Amino acid sequence: MKKIVFEKEKCIGCQACVSVCPAFWEMSDDGKVNLKEGVEEDGSFTRVPEEVGCNQNASESCPVRCIHIEEDNS
């Protein structure tokens, strides 16, 4: 299984991820984005999706590289 890890602190709110992967990413009124159904963990947000899908694109599109696709070892 793969896990999406979002370091929200680094997000600059450019919305590139929202453009390529709106099913998972949405703009927030704090000027950053939210990972839909993300669970906060040590200041980052994580979610284990059924399919990584467009999150791979979101990760590659992010100019500050704050979206990571990692192995889920839990």
- Residues forming contacts to ligand SF4 in the complex (CB under 6 A) are 11-17, 33, 61-64, 66-67
The minimum distance between CB 71 and ligand SF4, in angstroms, equals 20
Torsion of CA 45, 46, 52, 54, to 10 degrees: -10
Nearer to ligand SF4, 2 or 61 (CB): 61
The minimum distance between CB 27 and ligand SF4, in angstroms, equals 8
Query: Helix, strand, or coil here: 10?
Result: helix
The minimum distance between CB 65 and ligand SF4, in angstroms, equals 8
Angle at 30 between CA 26 and CA 36, to 5 degrees: 30
